[in-house]
Structure 1
Amino acid sequence: MKVSGRVVTPEGVLDGGEVSIDGDLIVAVGPGQDADNGHWIVPGFVDIHVHGGGGHSFTTGDADEARKAADFHLHHGTTTMLASLVSSPYELMLSATRQFAPLVDEGVLAGVHFEGPYLSELRCGAQNPTFLRDPSTEELTELIRAGAGAVRMVTIAPERAGAIEAIRLLVGHGVVAALGHTDASYEQTLAGVAAGATVGTHVFNGMRPPHHRAPGPVFALLGAPSVVCEFIADGTHLHDGTLAFATGVTGPRRAALITDAMSAAGMSDGTYELGGLAVTVADGVARLAGKDSIAGSTLTMDAALRRAIGAGVSMVDACQMASTTPAAAIGLDATVGALRAGLRADLVELSEDFQVVRVMRGGAWV
């Protein structure tokens, strides 16, 4: 099978390019014949931080709900995703891990991401404060064992008691440690990085704001060469100027576009639920009911790509931020994340104005 168009690779754009596919793998990428139809051919998106979509949620730990949420995002071009949970009782974390592990084995999900409960009370945002607590190496050890490879990433506030030990434990088991929802100082954040944390969870959001005399976690994460910084490119979480500045600091190899989407993504305005808290969506913006706190997003990865391009990011860099970099951040870059021979045939065909035309995952059109 051959797919033709303006093919976007990490090295540049092939106008009139062609992606050759055999089974579920890309076997060649190069010039094509009569291939320039104006459409873009880009790698399948990799979303490493998403809570749900299409009216369905990952946060309840229900496998059927998770399958439906994943299918919704697949139709928006996300061919690889982590199921992100929010701060919860340990029993729900363990149950969700066991429920989702078969979906990881099946390939519906790339893994589980625990965003909490080891977060800052001051910077918890839309996380339920009832469930926040200090990191527990005992809990983490059991979750990792129960997941048998399904637990892929855990977000921790590095200033909490036991955080450094927890980060070291995660890294020692091959789990990505992320820093977020934190009131840490610059020095405390760098201590978390030194312990092995390699991802900054939705940088700027859910963390102490930077100040020129107290730079805090934002400057520490943006400046750390070993850290991939997540950015929610929806125009609400970050001003486009902030997105352009931050990605200019990190470069595309350290910037990952994420959705942080909740179940309301793709749905009408109304009332929804996130981690036991009521969420009101108005004009597509999700906030805790009766409060000003943003509660996830209604974003999809194709919209995030369009927003990044609109903010001045080049097409090549935007695709790297939506696919290649997040794949590398969770250790999957040898399998997915780029249009390159030997990788899984995950791609998205976009119209000239970057709207999804069709999606391929593993060599099959969705």
Structure 2
Amino acid sequence: MTTSEASGRLVIRGHLISDDRSIEDGAVAFDGDRIAFAGPAAEFAEQPDAGSYAGVDVPAGSLLLPGLVDLHCHGAAGGDFPSADPEAVRRAVDFLHRAGTTTLLASLVSAAPDAMLEAADTLAALAEDGLIEGIHAEGPFLAAARCGAQDPSFLTDPDPDFVDELVAVARGQLRTMTYAPELPDADGLVEQLAQHGVIPSIGHTDADAETTAASLRLAREELASAGFDGFTERPTVTHLYNAMTPPHHRRPGSVTASLEAAATGGAVVELIADGHHLDPATVRAVFALVGAGAIALVTDSMAATGLPDGDYRLGPADVVVRDGQARLGADGRLAGGTATLLEVLRSTVDAGVPLAEALVSATSVPATVLGLADEVGALHVGFRADLLVLSPDLRLRAVYRRGVELGA
């Protein structure tokens, strides 16, 4: 449905949870595709025009949460974002919206240059239609030693000409790019990305702590001086721990440097807290160490998300999904996730992170990264009318995107 289909006035009552607010008897009112009220139900009843809003019946005890924001996903429902198949990628986006991820970046993987450009062109059209918020390029400037599910034959050193071409084909919709900071002229890449309004994201790296820390500092400096209105000044770290040099007490590596940067306001770290990519104790520890405000929960979801076990594709790679785990058919390495962001949120809470903290990392933090802190990621007057209605155990009851209820 398009924004123009969001018409009329609706009000929904329930336990409102958003950023630092928890209101047991809360109300969220929509006027078209915008939030007209979000606060105590008693205050809404006192509004002069309260009677013009149609009430929506939801089960007692329902939670009202902002729509979720995912910075890193490769597909769902059989659709593979790197495939450049317009029908399949639209099907994937529709599934993710209905599953509660109302704002998302569509992620590419490292592939042949022509394939990446073709996929970027397809995804740019979805961004122009308002279905996605932009594109994330995971590669191709990654370390072969930490390639993960990325095909090492497509990895290369930073290439300014290819970056310019990708930015042009994406028509201003390229938002983030994952890179390894130890590669030749990675500093030049960081500067180039910031100049184009693209957020550098360290990942798939074999760098030591010093190289990682220096690159994060440079990225922050370049983002701060880029001059883009509402632009984040914090670079990100792509799926912390996964495909990175692990911490060691004498060789701290990229993970330790990334944690320090996040704890001191210099970076936002992604966590795939799906129960497969990270142990729950690791998720809990990262929240305790750096705080929810420096964490973006992500899915790294691929085409199998929402579907049964079987054989799938992730860009050019064959992937086998068994017991909900996606692994490369060739060697069994993890190859993306199969959880939705709501399922990641639930897993994070199950790991012992308070819901209010986990929610910040699935909503307002990624919204801020995208420069959308005044648009999505919270329930406030004037924000986009994106809302989840959940059961007390975080099961989905209803999704509203831009004021329109999405069917199951």
Query: What's the TM-score once normalised by structure 2's chain length?
Result: 0.87
Which of residues 27, 35, 41 is equivalent to 2:64? 41
Q: 1:270 deviation in Å?
A: 1.3
Which of residues 137, 157, 160 is equivalent to 1:137? 160
- Kept in 2, the 8 Å contact 1:77–1:301? The answer is yes
Residue pairs, 1:1-366, within 5 angstroms: 1-32=10-41, 37-196=60-219, 198-224=235-261, 225-366=265-406
Q: 1:36 deviation in Å?
A: 8.7
C-alpha separation in 2, matches of 1:65 and 1:135: 30
Task: Name structure 1 gaps, 5 residues minimum.
Answer: none
C-alpha separation in 1, matches of 2:348 and 2:17: 15
C-alpha separation in 1, matches of 2:370 and 2:110: 21
Alignment-mate amino acid for residue 65 of structure 1? A
Q: How many residues align?
A: 366
Larger Rg over CA atoms = 2
After superposition, give the CA deviation of every residue in 1:141-198 in whole Å (9 maximum; x if it has no partner).
Answer: 1211222221111000010112111111111121111000000010111121122161
**Percent same amino acid among aligned pairs?**
41
User: SS where residue 196 of structure 1 aligns?
Assistant: helix
Alignment-mate amino acid for residue 141 of structure 1? D
Q: 1:290 deviation in Å?
A: 4.2
User: SS where residue 193 of structure 2 aligns?
Assistant: helix
- Kept in 1, the 8 Å contact 2:81–2:123? The answer is no
Runs ≥4 residues deviating over 4 A: 33-36
- Kept in 2, the 8 Å contact 1:4–1:36? The answer is no
After superposition, give the CA deviation of every residue in 1:33-70 in whole Å (9 maximum; x if it has no partner).
Answer: 59992111101010110001111110112222211111
User: SS where residue 149 of structure 1 aligns?
Assistant: coil
Alignment-mate amino acid for residue 208 of structure 1? T
After superposition, give the CA deviation of every residue in 1:65-116 in whole Å (9 maximum; x if it has no partner).
Answer: 2111111111110000111010011111221222221210111111010001
C-alpha separation in 2, matches of 1:60 and 1:195: 33
- Kept in 1, the 8 Å contact 2:117–2:169? The answer is yes
C-alpha separation in 1, matches of 2:125 and 2:271: 29
Query: What's the TM-score once normalised by structure 1's chain length?
Result: 0.97
